[in-house]
A and B are shown apart, each in its own frame.
Chain A
Amino acid sequence: MKIAVCLKRVPDTTAKLMIAASGTAIDEAGLKFVPNPYDEYALEEALKQREAEGAGSAGETVVVSLGGDAAQETMRTALAMGIDRGIHLQSGGSVDGLEVARALAAELKAGGFDLILAGKLAVDDYNHQVAVMVAEILEVPCITAVSRLTITGVTVEAEREIEGGIEVSTCQLPAVITCDKGLNSPRLPSLKGIMAAKKKPLEVKPVTLGAGSVRVAGLILPPERKPGRIVGEGPEAVAELVRLLRDEAKVL
């Protein structure tokens, strides 16, 4: 199988964030960036599927990332995990997920992939959309937030979590699958993998995105929560807690 994985680099989730002077983006200076955690499930799944096909079988794994030059560093991590090659779509990006999807789809269309894997969401913009839009543009099936995946021949069977249950669905390859936690346990790059990654092909292609129809008016820090208080210690504090929940917070 020919498998593509869409990878985005995002700030480490423990990072403390500041708003840049522009007021419409975060200040990236000094921030540590990591692969989007959901994209790690996608990378792992690509490797697992290829391993299941066995050595010598026809196919390859390709990581595709749209972003600034720093994206290449994150792509090397993917190559170190075992992905065969990378395509870097060089661009400043867009807050409009549809514009990102259009650029990714244009590249992926030419690649003739059987399977396109992505994360269910990027934990920076919380957009939940880019990969689904890629599928729509390519007019291929898409199953989102998948936590269990079986591919037999060209038939995909997937499970995804919905409120209070698991939805089971099926489609045919070629398809786009977005990955949720639970699908697999992403491997860590080995030392050998890290060495090998340096020599793997990473193609750089500049792309220009459209203007899009989502405009950021501004970013703000969320209002600080009212300073909380310790109601008391031990079970004796419960009566007072319940009183506050009923009379002050009015949630009981």
Chain B
Amino acid sequence: MPIILAVAEQRDGVLRKVSFEVLAAARQLADALGGSVDAVLISSGEIAGAAELGRYGADRVLAARHPDFGMYSPDGYAATIAAAGRGATAIIFAATATGRDLAPRVAARLGVGLATDVTALGVQGGKVSATRPIYGGKILQAVVLEGSPAIASVRPNTVPAKEHNKAGTPVEQAVPAFVARVKVTAIKAAAAAVLDVAEAPVVISGGRGLKEPGHFALLEELAAAFGNAAVGASRAVVDAGWRDHGAQVGQTGKTVSPGLYIAVGISGAIQHLAGMRTSRTIVAINRDKDAPIFKVADYGVVGDLFEILPRLTAEVRKLRVEQ
């Protein structure tokens, strides 16, 4: 029976939500091919939330434990996944910082090609097929993965998590011997709970129209009203030192596909659009009615952001209280 290996992610002992999206993608392939899904979970100990993997589509959960896996170990993880994935029909990663680092290592070890950052997966003539945005989303590339296993990474927020109520039978996965050529020594300023723009369901980004760094507080307040939002930024304000590069959306920043993207005081340069045009719903707030951002926005409000934002925050807060 075809086995689809879904690579789950955890940090600091907590399962990361993106794992459920990877499972949803793996489940689609397994159902199309009449196969089953193995989630592989790499860690140094118990993982909070691991019991949920079955509910979201894993027939089995392969737990690979090693004392050195308290933090990410590129070589150790790659060796483990390559061992677990040899003979599988497909291996699916999340296109996260870890997944992007890891997937090519596994593909090279198994000697097969890799489709990164895919937004859809399917089966064509018995082979795994995938759709990938290339050239900053200006073109969609349809590929067929002819190697075995087929390896792909799924861009966060593009394949929604779904409950499937599978068994999630725990199985121990052996960790092969490996040489740790790279050692992760620390993670700074991270908390498993911090929402990253690349993964948040709602992203609110600000640009030069905010006028000064302190005014980003207006966006933080709106994000807090949503409760599930991250604050992003245009390159202009990142280069000016107003926001960290981690928040930059666009061609030289992050590519995001949230359910809702709100661009505030951002003109909509092509390099910015490259990072957000695949968002499900786009809202633009800009005082220039001819700003290019309005061309991709589903909903636009023309006017002064300093007048519009406080009103929007109040309305969203009111609605959240009612819910």
Chain A residues at the B interface, C-beta cutoff of 8 Å: 11, 13-14, 17, 19, 26, 37-38, 95-99, 101, 123-130, 132-133, 136-137, 140-145, 147, 159-172, 180-182, 212-222, 225-226, 228-235, 237-239, 241-242, 244-246, 249, 251-252
State A123–B109 Cα separation when bound (angstroms): 25
Residue of B nearest to A237 (CB): B301
Selected contact of A252 from candidates B103, B185, B191, B319, CB within 8 Å: B319
Q: Do B181 and A140 have beta carbons less than 8 Å apart? A: yes
State A168–B136 Cα separation when bound (angstroms): 28
Selected contact of A13 from candidates B129, B136, B140, B188, CB within 8 Å: B136
Q: Do A126 and B116 have beta carbons less than 8 Å apart? A: yes
State A133–B184 Cα separation when bound (angstroms): 19
Least Cβ–Cβ distance between B83 and chain A, in angstroms: 15
Residue of B nearest to A156 (CB): B182
Interface string of B274-308 (1 = CB under 8 A from A): 10011011111000010000111111111110011
State A143–B235 Cα separation when bound (angstroms): 24
| 19 A–B pairs (Cβ distance < 8 Å), ordered by A | A37-B251, A98-B111, A125-B134, A127-B116, A128-B95, A133-B105, A141-B75, A142-B182, A165-B187, A167-B97, A167-B186, A168-B187, A213-B145, A214-B144, A216-B143, A222-B277, A230-B294, A235-B311, A241-B301
Q: Do B259 and A136 have beta carbons less than 8 Å apart? A: no
Closest 6 CB pairs of A and B: A165-B190, A213-B147, A164-B194, A163-B196, A141-B181, A136-B108
**Total interface residues on B, using CB and 8 Å?**
97
Least Cβ–Cβ distance between B192 and chain A, in angstroms: 8
Least Cβ–Cβ distance between A45 and chain B, in angstroms: 16
Q: Do B303 and A167 have beta carbons less than 8 Å apart? A: no
Least Cβ–Cβ distance between A41 and chain B, in angstroms: 10
Does B112 make an interface contact (CB < 8 A)?
A: yes
Q: Do B245 and A161 have beta carbons less than 8 Å apart? A: yes
Q: Do A124 and B100 have beta carbons less than 8 Å apart? A: no
Residue of B nearest to A230 (CB): B300
Q: Which of B104, B280, B281 has the most CB of A within 10 A?
A: B104
Chain B residues at the A interface, C-beta cutoff of 8 Å: 72, 74-75, 78, 95-98, 100-101, 103-105, 107-109, 111-117, 124, 129, 132-147, 181-196, 198-199, 202, 245-246, 248, 251-253, 259-260, 270-271, 274, 277-278, 280-284, 289, 294-304, 307-308, 311-312, 315-316, 319
Selected contact of A231 from candidates B142, B190, B198, B300, CB within 8 Å: B300
Q: Which residues of A contact B136 (CB under 8 A)?
A: 13, 123, 126
State A217–B128 Cα separation when bound (angstroms): 12
Q: Do A126 and B133 have beta carbons less than 8 Å apart? A: yes
Least Cβ–Cβ distance between B9 and chain A, in angstroms: 9
Q: Do B312 and A230 have beta carbons less than 8 Å apart? A: no
Q: Which residues of A contact B132 (CB under 8 A)?
A: 126
Least Cβ–Cβ distance between B155 and chain A, in angstroms: 10
Q: Do A237 and B101 have beta carbons less than 8 Å apart? A: no
Known contacts A220-B142, A237-B301, A251-B260; is A162 also within 8 Å of B129 by CB?
no
Q: Which residues of B contact A245 (CB under 8 A)?
A: 260, 281, 283, 299
Q: Which residues of A contact B298 (CB under 8 A)?
A: 225-226, 228-229, 249
Least Cβ–Cβ distance between A124 and chain B, in angstroms: 6
Q: Do B299 and A162 have beta carbons less than 8 Å apart? A: no
Identify 6 new A-B residue pairs, CB closer than 8 A, beyond the known A95-B143, A169-B185: A144-B101, A163-B194, A165-B188, A217-B143, A238-B311, A245-B281
Known contacts A222-B139, A230-B289; is A214 also within 8 Å of B145 by CB?
yes
State A124–B138 Cα separation when bound (angstroms): 10
Q: Do B187 and A241 have beta carbons less than 8 Å apart? A: no
Known contacts A168-B184, A214-B113; is A233 also within 8 Å of B303 by CB?
yes
Q: Do B300 and A97 have beta carbons less than 8 Å apart? A: no
Q: Which of A37, A226, A251 has the most CB of B within 10 A?
A: A251
State A221–B115 Cα separation when bound (angstroms): 19
Least Cβ–Cβ distance between B300 and chain A, in angstroms: 5
Q: Do A132 and B141 have beta carbons less than 8 Å apart? A: no
State A238–B189 Cα separation when bound (angstroms): 35
Residue of B nearest to A244 (CB): B299
Q: Which residues of B contact A124 (CB under 8 A)?
A: 134-135
Residue of A nearest to B298 (CB): A228
State A19–B189 Cα separation when bound (angstroms): 44
Least Cβ–Cβ distance between A173 and chain B, in angstroms: 11
Q: Which residues of A contact B147 (CB under 8 A)?
A: 213-214
Q: Do B144 and A217 have beta carbons less than 8 Å apart? A: yes
Q: Do B316 and A252 have beta carbons less than 8 Å apart? A: yes
Known contacts A123-B251, A249-B260; is A98 also within 8 Å of B112 by CB?
yes
